[in-house]
A and B are shown apart, each in its own frame.
Chain A
Amino acid sequence: MTVQPIVAEGLTKTFGHDRGISDVSLVVEPGQVFGFLGPNGAGKSTTIRCLLGLYRPSRGQARVLGQDPAAGQAGFLADVGYLPGELRLPDRLTGADVLGTFRRMRRGHHTAYEDELVERLRAELTRPVASLSKGNKQKLGLVLAFMHRPRLLVLDEPTSGLDPLLQDEFASLLRETTADGRTVLLSSHDLDEVQRVVQRVAIIRSGRIVIDDTVASLRASAPRTIELTFDHDVDARPLASVPGVTLHVTTARHVTLTHTGAAAPVLTAIAQLQPDTITARPADLEELFLRLYGGTTHAD
């Protein structure tokens, strides 16, 4: 029987009077890139720390690779690669020292795969960490997370500071990882990246999971945006009465609307207004995220 890499049931963490997370439940299937999104302070990092055993949950439980991370047994961490959202490495060590130190602490050996990762990500190994840019430190963090080929990768804002070419290389690494049957929990604020690489996504807001679904299903239910221009003045208000339509920008000759559900009723209503041009954007998760985030596009 295949063990689900992550199962969380009712995870709750409070910090005195401060809000943490409440009743967070997640199931991450093997071989999946699972997107974990939410605005700043929503509870993503708190959830990740509970899953890795860094925080003891106030209530609820989790199983990561079949083990309870709160039980104090570190065995499951041998098969976990972690990249924290704010990566801090010892300033005085060189990149090579950092890799060597963490490799030995994992009781691992230098492998050709580690060299391949260094080459593909163009990680800087000879200079002290203190002299590296944010992007170069992030490359070292990625090598540390991937180099022992863990069954589960927990990556918090992994492409932060990476240039577009390296972001593509990172996406390739994710594809190779899941093709290998391994699993990734990916927290990111980059919605384009999430749409590109994840199969399933959970959105957390104010410490609670508000959506947990596949990207395909979310895309099917995500609002589509349509822009209309006219060479004559129109009254667009009848469009608002079509089920699933929301009017956003309306002037006498320019209308922007979003709609969900079947296209035929809204197209019929639009045709009656005889538009000059119609521009329809494909369904984009960003519209959905904007709605769920309550008007903000950035996650922590």
Chain B
Amino acid sequence: MPTDLIRLDLRLRRRMLIGTAVGAAAYLLLVVAVYPTFKHDTAFDDMIASNPAAAAAFGITGSITSPEGWLSANMYANFGPLLALMLTIGYGSAAIAGQDRDGLLGLLATLPVPRTRIVAGKALSLLVAALVVPVVSYAVCLTGPHFELTPRWGPLLGVSVAVTLLAFDLGAIALLVGATSGSRGAAMGAAGAVAACAYLISSLSPVVEAVHRVRWLSPFLWAVGDGQLTRGVTGTELGALAGLGIALIGATVLAFRGLDIQ
């Protein structure tokens, strides 16, 4: 295992990872702590039911006052994945294209480490970055019972894994575009655009028929957009998310072998 490559990359992004973890934890703790105030407020559910399009735009489906609905509406259907994507797309675009522009990749690539192994190190670092927000979020949710919020722990764990894989996949798109083009901007732009489209497809599919027909294209839907926090994540959904990630890393290996490094 390319441990030192992983250690170096994570060390270079340590502040970003810790900062995001602390921010996500603080935000979610607040969400969990105020749950008792809204738990019995049926007006919220009525509002959502009367305006499904607006609710869908924020990734909200079903009851918002149930523990799962509350966590989904305030974290898992929107802010959680977006925070995780911010970390992984940022890392994915910096890990190859960014380090190439900075000159560090040229030094690493002249070490006796095959390019496949370098990509493996980057992929494992990406996985660590993808884990940060879901792990911290799950840990904060464990305080839920102190605030009358007791979600179904199995589905919550499944969604945490799914969000990790979702963030990994979008970061892997940045990694792939960076390894293909050598451009950090192109990597970040392409992955960001895919993430935005995937989110829109997932969130609007319940209310826009045309979008509904292509909803299967969105990895957001596979992870959090289809009531997974209530019903649990299926093996097919996890397999699709994991398979996409593996395919993207495989393509990155091929692209990186042909990349001219500065």
Taking Cβ atoms with an 8 Å cutoff, the residues of A that contact B are 49, 52-56, 72-78, 80, 82, 84, 86-90, 92-93, 101-102, 104-107, 144
Partner of B5, one of A74, A78, A84, A105: A105
Chain A residues near B5: list those with CB within 8 A: 105
Closest beta carbon of chain B to A66's beta carbon, Å: 15
Closest beta carbon of chain B to A220's beta carbon, Å: 37
**Residue-by-residue, is B98-135 near A (CB-CB < 8 Å gives 1, otherwise 0)?**
00001110111111111100000000000000000000
Taking Cβ atoms with an 8 Å cutoff, the residues of B that contact A are 4-5, 7-8, 11-12, 102-104, 106-115, 257-258, 260-262
User: For residue B12, which residue of chain A has the nearest CB?
Assistant: A90
Main secondary structure of the interface of B (DSSP, over half): helix
Partner of B114, one of A52, A72, A105: A72
Chain A residues near B115: list those with CB within 8 A: 72, 74
| A102 touching B104, Cβ below 8 Å | no
Closest beta carbon of chain A to B220's beta carbon, Å: 34
Main secondary structure of the interface of A (DSSP, over half): loop
| B106 touching A54, Cβ below 8 Å | yes
| B257 touching A90, Cβ below 8 Å | no
Closest beta carbon of chain B to A79's beta carbon, Å: 8
User: For residue A13, which residue of chain B has the nearest CB?
Assistant: B260
Chain B residues near A76: list those with CB within 8 A: 112
Chain A residues near B102: list those with CB within 8 A: 88
Closest beta carbon of chain A to B128's beta carbon, Å: 17
Chain B residues near A107: list those with CB within 8 A: 112
Q: List the 3 closest pairs (A to B, CB-CB), nearest first.
A: A88-B103, A78-B112, A54-B261
**Given contacts A49-B260, A92-B11, is CB(A77)–CB(B110) below 8 Å?**
yes
Closest beta carbon of chain B to A278's beta carbon, Å: 51
What are some 17 contacts across the A-B interface (CB < 8 A)?
A49-B262, A53-B109, A54-B106, A54-B262, A55-B261, A72-B257, A73-B114, A74-B112, A74-B114, A78-B112, A86-B103, A88-B102, A89-B107, A90-B8, A93-B11, A105-B5, A105-B108
| Cα distance A93–B10 in the bound complex, in angstroms | 12
Most central of B110, B115, B257, B261 by chain A CB within 10 Å: B110
| B103 touching A84, Cβ below 8 Å | yes
Closest beta carbon of chain B to A185's beta carbon, Å: 13
Chain A residues near B12: list those with CB within 8 A: 90, 92
| Cα distance A54–B109 in the bound complex, in angstroms | 7
Chain A residues near B104: list those with CB within 8 A: 88-90
Closest beta carbon of chain B to A225's beta carbon, Å: 40
| A82 touching B260, Cβ below 8 Å | no
Closest beta carbon of chain B to A129's beta carbon, Å: 11
User: For residue B257, which residue of chain A has the nearest CB?
Assistant: A72
User: For residue A15, which residue of chain B has the nearest CB?
Assistant: B260
Chain A residues near B262: list those with CB within 8 A: 49, 54
**Given contacts A72-B115, A72-B257, A105-B4, is CB(A84)–CB(B106) below 8 Å?**
yes
User: For residue A80, which residue of chain B has the nearest CB?
Assistant: B110
Closest beta carbon of chain A to B255's beta carbon, Å: 13
| Cα distance A249–B175 in the bound complex, in angstroms | 61
| Cα distance A86–B8 in the bound complex, in angstroms | 20
| B261 touching A49, Cβ below 8 Å | yes
| Cα distance A78–B104 in the bound complex, in angstroms | 18
User: For residue B110, which residue of chain A has the nearest CB?
Assistant: A82
**Given contacts A49-B261, A90-B12, A93-B11, is CB(A102)–CB(B106) below 8 Å?**
no
**Given contacts A49-B261, A56-B260, A105-B5, is CB(A77)–CB(B106) below 8 Å?**
no
User: For residue B118, which residue of chain A has the nearest CB?
Assistant: A74
| Cα distance A107–B12 in the bound complex, in angstroms | 21
Closest beta carbon of chain A to B184's beta carbon, Å: 14
| A54 touching B110, Cβ below 8 Å | yes
Partner of B111, one of A56, A72, A84, A106: A106
Closest beta carbon of chain B to A215's beta carbon, Å: 28
User: For residue B109, which residue of chain A has the nearest CB?
Assistant: A54
| A106 touching B112, Cβ below 8 Å | yes
Most central of A55, A74, A77, A78 by chain B CB within 10 Å: A74
| Cα distance A73–B106 in the bound complex, in angstroms | 16
User: For residue B107, which residue of chain A has the nearest CB?
Assistant: A84
User: For residue B103, which residue of chain A has the nearest CB?
Assistant: A88
Closest beta carbon of chain B to A86's beta carbon, Å: 6
Chain A residues near B8: list those with CB within 8 A: 90, 101
Closest beta carbon of chain B to A114's beta carbon, Å: 16
Chain B residues near A52: list those with CB within 8 A: 109-110
| B260 touching A102, Cβ below 8 Å | no
User: For residue A54, which residue of chain B has the nearest CB?
Assistant: B261
18 extra A-B contacts, CB within 8 A, seeds A53-B110, A80-B110:
A49-B106, A49-B261, A52-B110, A53-B109, A54-B260, A56-B260, A72-B114, A72-B257, A73-B114, A74-B114, A77-B112, A77-B113, A82-B110, A84-B106, A87-B103, A90-B8, A90-B104, A101-B4
| B113 touching A74, Cβ below 8 Å | yes
Chain B residues near A53: list those with CB within 8 A: 109-110
**Given contacts A86-B103, A88-B103, A89-B104, is CB(A102)–CB(B112) below 8 Å?**
no
Closest beta carbon of chain B to A140's beta carbon, Å: 11
| Cα distance A55–B261 in the bound complex, in angstroms | 6
